[in-house]
Amino acid sequence: MTTRTPLATDDAHKSDMLITRSNREAGAFSPRPSAVKPPLADVSQLEATASESPTTLPTLQQIEAAAQVVYREFQATPQYHWALLSQRLGSECWVKHENHTPVGAFKLRGGLTYFDRLKRRGVLPGSVISATRGNHGQSIGWAARAHGVACSIVVPLGNSLEKNAAMRALGVTLIEYGTDFQQSREHAISLATQNGAHMVPSFHPDLLSGVSTYWWEFFKAVPQLDVVYVPIGQGSGACSAIAAKLALGHKARIVGVVSAHATTYADSLMAGRIVEAPVSTLLADGMACRIADQAALNIMAPHLDHIVKVSDVEVAQAMRDIYIDTHNVAEGAGAASYAAAMQERHLLRGQVVGTTLSGGNVDAGVFAKVLLA
Ligand SMILES: Cc1ncc(COP(=O)(O)O)c(C=O)c1O
């Protein structure tokens, strides 16, 4: 499956769902950092290292060192070859269980290494602020608490009640502002300027080193993986999968997964420049990003095999499938990887498929509705 064409389907919107290796080779997928000016000029100052300078991926040595930081707080998460999910997929299916970190999502790894780096550089601030739909905020809240740093997190109005409660329980001062993640993020940046707090970005090399440990664990534990599916929100997970693959010299193809209702990364990779896209997903809040990050795009463009878009309907089906087949709870973004594999199942026969249950933090009421639908 090295040269891909759109899915052989008469469903027109699905054929639109793929950025293939062939159109990447035709140029649509190549990074053009100098030609692209992110529409973030007013908010990029505080995140300059994340958005403007080329992001170097962590080396094997740096990922191994990051793992030691992560393992101070929790052990490597398991990866299981689930029989029923494999049967449903028609291929050997592995799941990386990031729902088993102490905050129920992979993000914690990045927060731990980000704060460790601040401490090592002797620049641990008195207070931090960040923006989130929930899991990044839990990660920053956990790490801030561990380092005795005051932490404020901005979430959009109507954010997950249970993620909000989990952040507050970690000592976070929660600020509800804006109608989507981007508005919360811009508000967090202006509050950081006003209050002198350190703004923690959603995408940064010191987050990537920690997040890379999860893919490093997965690739080492299952060297026979042929392909892995990675959900994309702001891109730390996908770029970390790329980093771990390159560090280990693993052969697996990496497929990016976006919500069909939040397509900035798919659109931007296709266009070769940042393309803002409206967000309307009701289930995959971890993937609900409106403006892609240029640094993340630069890393993804040459290394992702292609992109799959999954609808909320497909994500809900995957949440049910994962629950019925493994009795693990997946939040929307946490089920997107398996949903994408299911969308492409007819192309995966005979292959070893890696999926990630990247988070399990779905509100009980939402999950009940998904199960009963
Ligand atoms: C459960 C889950 N999966 C996937 C993602 C997307 O990750 P990233 O923002 O690193 O692309 C997120 C982001 O918050 C998430 O919470």
307: CATH: 3.40.50.1100
The pLDDT assigned to 213 comes to: 98
CA–CA separation, 182 vs 169, rounded Å?
Answer: 24
| Ligand 1 closest atom vs CA 232 | 11
Q: Which residues contact 307 (CB under 8 A, 6 or more apart)?
A: 17, 18, 19, 232, 255, 256, 257, 258, 265, 266, 269
Task: Mark whether 76 and 218 lie in a shared domain.
Answer: yes
Asked if residue 325 belongs to a domain, the reply is: yes
Helix axis angle, 294-303 to 236-248, nearest 10°: 40
From 173, 199, 225, the end of a domain falls on 199
Domain count, the chain: 2
Distance 232 CA to ligand 1 centre (A): 6
Task: Mark whether 173 and 308 lie in a shared domain.
Answer: no
Task: Mark whether 99 and 112 lie in a shared domain.
Answer: no
Asked if residue 49 belongs to a domain, the reply is: no
Q: How far apart are the first and last CA of the chain?
A: 35
The pLDDT assigned to 55 comes to: 78
Ligand 1 neighbours by CB, cut-off 6 Å: 105, 107, 135-136, 231-238, 286-287, 331, 333-334, 358-359
- For ligand 1, atom 6, the nearest C-alpha belongs to 233
The pLDDT assigned to 53 comes to: 52
Task: Mark whether 85 and 122 lie in a shared domain.
Answer: no
Q: Give yes or no for residue 345 having a pLDDT over 60.
A: yes
CB atoms within 10 A of CB 130: 28
* H/E element, 354: strand 352-357
CA–CA separation, 114 vs 120, rounded Å?
Answer: 10
200-249, pLDDT tens digit by residue? 999 999 999 999 999 999 999 999 999 999 999 999 999 999 999 999 99
Task: Mark whether 288 and 365 lie in a shared domain.
Answer: yes
Task: Mark whether 161 and 309 lie in a shared domain.
Answer: no
96-113, pLDDT tens digit by residue? 999 999 999 999 999 999
From 148, 173, 199, the end of a domain falls on 199
Q: How, if at all, do strands 173-176 and 352-357 pair?
A: unpaired
Q: Which one is predicted more confidently, 7 or 283? A: 283
Task: Mark whether 264 and 361 lie in a shared domain.
Answer: yes
Q: Which of 260, 341, 264, 262 lies closest to 305 in space, CA to CA? A: 341
- For ligand 1, atom 10, the nearest C-alpha belongs to 236
CA–CA separation, 294 vs 268, rounded Å?
Answer: 9
Q: Give yes or no for residue 46 having a pLDDT over 80.
A: no
The pLDDT assigned to 9 comes to: 27
Asked if residue 330 belongs to a domain, the reply is: yes
Task: Mark whether 184 and 118 lie in a shared domain.
Answer: yes
Distance 3 CA to ligand 1 centre (A): 28
| Segment 141-148 mean pLDDT | 98
Asked if residue 17 belongs to a domain, the reply is: no
- For ligand 1, atom 14, the nearest C-alpha belongs to 286
Distance 259 CA to ligand 1 centre (A): 11
According to DSSP, the residues that pair with 253 across neighbouring strands are 227
Task: For ligand 1, pick from 185, 259, 358, 361 the residue to mutate: most ligand atoms within 8 Å of CB.
Answer: 358
From 139, 166, 199, the end of a domain falls on 199
According to DSSP, the residues that pair with 231 across neighbouring strands are 257
Q: Give yes or no for residue 50 having a pLDDT over 50.
A: no
Q: In terms of residue numbers, what domain contains 263?
A: 60-105+205-372
Asked if residue 99 belongs to a domain, the reply is: yes
Task: Mark whether 167 and 302 lie in a shared domain.
Answer: no
Q: Give yes or no for residue 165 having a pLDDT over 90.
A: yes
Task: Mark whether 157 and 304 lie in a shared domain.
Answer: no
Asked if residue 158 belongs to a domain, the reply is: yes
pLDDT, averaged across the chain? 88
| Ligand 1 closest atom vs CA 135 | 16
**Token digits for 315?**
């994500």
Task: For ligand 1, pick from 103, 106, 185, 229 the residue to mutate: most ligand atoms within 8 Å of CB.
Answer: 106
Asked if residue 42 belongs to a domain, the reply is: no
Reported as a pLDDT band with limits 50, 70 and 90, residue 54 is: low
Task: Mark whether 353 and 341 lie in a shared domain.
Answer: yes
Q: How, if at all, do strands 227-231 and 352-357 pair?
A: parallel
- For ligand 1, atom 12, the nearest C-alpha belongs to 286
Distance 237 CA to ligand 1 centre (A): 7
- For ligand 1, atom 7, the nearest C-alpha belongs to 233
Task: Mark whether 274 and 355 lie in a shared domain.
Answer: yes
Asked if residue 268 belongs to a domain, the reply is: yes
Distance 204 CA to ligand 1 centre (A): 14
The pLDDT assigned to 230 comes to: 98
CA–CA separation, 61 vs 105, rounded Å?
Answer: 24
Q: Which residues contact 74 (CB under 8 A, 6 or more apart)?
A: 101, 102, 108
Reported as a pLDDT band with limits 50, 70 and 90, residue 7 is: very low
CA–CA separation, 198 vs 130, rounded Å?
Answer: 8
According to DSSP, the residues that pair with 138 across neighbouring strands are none
